[in-house]
Amino acid sequence: MKTEPRQSLFKDRLTGRQTPVPPLTGTLMGRWVLEAGDQDVFMNSAGAEHGDFLMPEPSGQWHLLTGDGQRDSGAVSRGQVPDDLEAESVRTIGDRLKDLTLKGASWFEWIEVIPLVPGISEQVDLQPLEILVREQFGHLEAACLKPRAHLHVEVERVPVPKARRVPPAAVSYLAAHTEDWDRPLLRGILPKRILAEVRYDQVDIYENRVVARLLDNLGAYLNRRIRVLRRLLKVFQEKEDYSASVAGTYQREHRISELWGKSIDANEGRRKAEAALRELEWLKYKVMGLLGSPLYEDVPRRAYVPTTLKSTNILTNDQHYRRIADLWREWARTGAGRTQSPSELHAEAQRLCRGLDSFVMLLTVRALHTLGYEPSDTALEMPLAPGGLLSLRGDSVDVTLSWRDDGTTCIAFGERELTIVALISNLGAGADERVRESLDRIRQAASERERGDVLVLFLASDDERSSADLELLTSLHTVGNDPRNMLAGGGCLPVSPWEIGSTERVARALRWFLSGARLGDYPLRVNVPPDVRDLINLEEHARWLSSQDGGNTLELHTPPHDFEWESLNVAAMVQAAEADLRTARSNHRRLNDELRNAVRQRKTGSLVRQKHDAHEEVLQCETVEQAAHALAERLRDAHARSIALLSCPTCAVNADPARDFKPLDRGCFCCECHGCGTQWGTRLCGEGHRYAVMLPSGDFLETNDQRPGWEDRVYGCDILALPARKQDGQWGFACPECGQVS
């Protein structure tokens, strides 16, 4: 029996194609978007809608059930699941950006948002629960060391000296058990053991279970808060590293400092974070010390206590336990003890994915702003939202920024297109085999795209979970300009709201995509229509303009001075062609009138031939006029792009075309900014590959840092081709095609 093909349920954001069901193993979170049309789909026991992401349950498994009864299940690598701290930070900044979207915020409102975890200044302060724990710790300690207990009476066989109360059944029991006799007497027996009522203090009561579980909950809460503060200290330390590093560029330091200046005083924040961290570590030490107390030892470890407390007499009236009840209720207000339903878990997973998409759009907007791209006049007030499109301009290039319905970000100029895909999976975590498998999947997907390149931005968690293979980690910090890594031709970068350098990484990728291609267009060539080859006197412009291919092409080998461009006078060239066309049309109309009169007088003579020649001349002039307009437009475009080659990519000051711009052999050039010393241009490797380079301050920065991502920490977005050491130990550039350093 022939089975019908399954309907496509998902769209692969990496390939841009639809597929019935994703791979059942190694699923990359954030890659697949549901596009099921009107078909009912349940994901992880919750109803899924169009546009939802394929995400797993907390166990790492995902399950699908369609309306026609099809079932599918798969798994993701547990090591690549982001930790709760990272995920919550993305949701928080995503909610803030969602509010901007709903308000119809424009470009300028987006670039005012700092791409860091919101509320850093509030997070370094002690929270209400922590203050309450510090204030009420004495009551918690008193309850643990001297817990309240209920009296519990049991009847047991005990030695006679320990018996206090003897039940009525003790005599009959003793008469029947001779093994408990010491010896018989004349009038009876002398017992050795006897039944007696023994009283025990029962510590395992509801109130003490509350105390024991509160210790566990406070330990987990303090551990999480300590992790938050340590991450904040790491962020503050990164700021100091960016500012104090002798290997970093001045421009990168200025950009990072500007970000910090708009968010928080790093020095004050670090001081407060260190003080809060010391306080929380002390509290954790004190709380953990109570795990060996009599109360905690006597309460079963699996004893469960619901989040909502019962109002018992002890919790209401006891001087210690009522304070403990206050601690429990304050902990419950944090929401840590609430169990989520499948629908709530699904909603949180979707909020995480959409939050990361919004965060990536924010990084893209700020990166483009850093590189000098701004909206056109017609797009200044346009809202930036999913499904929208924005026109930008910078370096004489028109760029289109679009936020697609599937959450991906697209940047296009000319025939080139770059799609930015955000993945929730922490690609660098887990076993090396898993990391290598994920990289292979991304590279395969990039090769299957029908159009454009793809840049993968993945959510990076704590470095402690990262792979130990430096080659693999280096492949996760490339923008596709280093073929020595596994993702040559593609791009893959880690981002996080906790990483102050995330914008620099994205800006480096966009500079390579935009400026690398723009500089690679040198030498600028203009196709010349055959009918206008004689309109330009090349001998007058030989310094900057030359003819190639027998006059079919004009080559701008040097950007012209203003007076040189004005002397070319393309407007006069067009005006001359238009004047010739007007003259030809006027002559044609005159001959047409003369011929009409001659026909009446039957004396046409040679007027028919003259009118035909005049018509041919009009057609020729029209062709020349159209070609002149086309040539003028091409020359203006080439002139604008050639002048853009003079713009310093670091400080945006134009270099002098005669003094600073140097054409080199084999279609390369070099330009230098006398303001900041930056050098940029194109060069050839030994294999003949031409590629764009950029060097801030005109010299390589000496550094021994070769950890993955070192180029972002040292140069930031102020490079194109990657600096690398040659065999002799000197610095050079790595060819993006073959990896040769020269």
Q: pLDDT tens digits for 640-689?
A: 888 888 888 888 888 888 889 999 988 899 999 888 888 999 999 888 88
Integer Cα distance of 613 and 40 in angstroms: 73
Report in angstroms the alpha-carbon separations of 232 from 117, 272, 313, 485.
Answer: 10, 10, 43, 31
The one-letter amino acid at 325: A
In the chain, the percentage of residues whose pLDDT exceeds 90 is 26
Q: What are phi and psi of 229, to 5 degrees?
A: -65, -35
In terms of domains, do 245 and 315 share one? yes
Q: Which residue range is the domain that position 620 belongs to? A: 524-644
Q: Is residue 589 part of a domain?
A: yes
Q: Is residue 209 part of a domain?
A: yes
Q: Is 95 exposed, middle or buried (0-12, 13-18, 19+ CB in 10 A)?
A: middle
Closest CA to 48 of 403, 349, 339: 349
In terms of domains, do 566 and 634 share one? yes
Report the number of distinct structural domains present in the chain.
Answer: 5
Q: Is residue 139 part of a domain?
A: yes
Closest CA to 115 of 403, 354, 362, 462: 362
Q: Is residue 319 part of a domain?
A: yes
Closest CA to 114 of 93, 89, 87: 93
Largest CA distance in the chain: 176
In the chain, the percentage of residues whose pLDDT exceeds 70 is 91
pLDDT computed for residue 220 by the predictor: 92
pTM as predicted: 0.84
Integer Cα distance of 495 and 425 in angstroms: 11
Mean per-residue pLDDT for 325-330? 93
In terms of domains, do 247 and 189 share one? no
Residue with tokens 């470095």: 463
For residues 266 and 573, which has the higher predicted lDDT (pLDDT)? Answer: 573
pLDDT computed for residue 158 by the predictor: 79
pLDDT computed for residue 174 by the predictor: 79
In terms of domains, do 325 and 220 share one? yes
Q: Is residue 385 part of a domain?
A: no
Residue 218: pLDDT over 90: yes
Q: Which of 80, 112, 135 is the last residue of a domain?
A: 80
Integer Cα distance of 449 and 12 in angstroms: 10
Residue with tokens 């907007």: 365
Give the tens place of pLDDT for each residue, 611-640: 777 788 888 888 888 888 888 898 898 888
pLDDT computed for residue 617 by the predictor: 84
In terms of domains, do 541 and 640 share one? yes
In terms of domains, do 135 and 254 share one? yes
Mean per-residue pLDDT for 714-720? 87
Q: Is residue 111 part of a domain?
A: no
β-strands 453-459, 491-495 pairing = parallel
In terms of domains, do 593 and 665 share one? no
Residue 168: how many other CB atoms lie within 10 Å = 7
In terms of domains, do 195 and 125 share one? no
In terms of domains, do 314 and 261 share one? yes
CA 668 vs. chain centroid, Å, equals 35
Residue 250: pLDDT band by 50, 70, 90 thresholds?
low
Integer Cα distance of 142 and 136 in angstroms: 10
Residue 323: pLDDT band by 50, 70, 90 thresholds?
very high
Cα 252-256-260 angle, rounded to 5 deg: 165
In terms of domains, do 132 and 47 share one? no
Closest CA to 132 of 218, 204, 203: 218
Q: Is residue 45 part of a domain?
A: yes
Mean per-residue pLDDT for 209-218? 93
Give the tens place of pLDDT for each residue, 54-70: 999 988 899 988 877 88
Q: Which of 286, 313, 333 is the last residue of a domain?
A: 333
Q: Is residue 154 part of a domain?
A: yes
Enclosing H/E stretch for 198 = strand 193-202
Name residues whose C-beta falls within 8 Å of residue 299's C-beta, 6 or more positions apart in sequence.
203, 204, 208, 209, 211, 212
| DSSP codes, 467-517 | -S-HHHHHHTTB-S--TTSTTTTSEEEEE-TT-TTHHHHHHHHHHHHHHHH
For residues 718 and 363, which has the higher predicted lDDT (pLDDT)? Answer: 363
Q: Which of 182, 202, 222 is the last residue of a domain?
A: 202
Residue 254: pLDDT over 80: no
pLDDT computed for residue 353 by the predictor: 94
In terms of domains, do 250 and 301 share one? yes
In terms of domains, do 136 and 268 share one? yes
pLDDT computed for residue 568 by the predictor: 86
